[in-house]
Amino acid sequence: MPKDAEEHRKDATYKKAKREGYRARSAFKLLDIQNRYSIFKRAFYILDLGSTPGSWLQVAKKYAELNLTKHNDKYYHRHHYKIMGVDLKRLSPIEDIKIVKMDFTSPEFQVEINNYFEGEKLDLILSDASINKSGNKFSDQARQIKLCLNILELTENLKIKGNFLVKVFQGADFENFYKKMKQHFMVVRSLKPKSSNKKSNEIYLIGLKKKY
């Protein structure tokens, strides 16, 4: 077993994830963000980009199910939820979740969204998607920002006041992307979850309450 994989399996957060039934430790990144910003509040229609191995979908399903009873009131509410996960890699099925294996930056993916959600706007878009790193910190950061800009275009599918979460790499283009998000959302926050690798330059941007 490679040294990195062996260390990963010894990691306390990895072990905790397995104990709690999550497919990966990345579930705790999303849970950290939820605890801070309540991004899943009244989220019933959810899109998750870069879903493999599926731990974020597991978290999304947990909160969508809770919302069916927790927010059953006179305000915005649905009697069902719809969650879609997409990745280029194969993803093992999760009950009651639509799994799509394709490139979400392709025009064809919009057709998948329209068909599954039947033309209705989404409550929440999540993305833990990442480029395949080359090892060159500067070019990798630029490529990740380019990916994030493509992802930001998909927020056209979000309802007004919908929420958005995306993984970004810190670096030269970060501020410009941050400003771009502020054009679309009333509140934008950045967070490095406690369970993130301290040496990593990854950071998450949270867009709350889409403007238009």
Catalytic positions, please? 167
Q: Which tokens in the block code for residue 154? A: 């998909």
- Radius of gyration of the chain measured on its C-alpha atoms: 17
Name, in order, each residue with C-beta under 8 angstroms of 175's C-beta and a sequence gap of 6 or more.
Answer: none
Cα–Cα distance, 23 to 54 (Å, whole number): 6
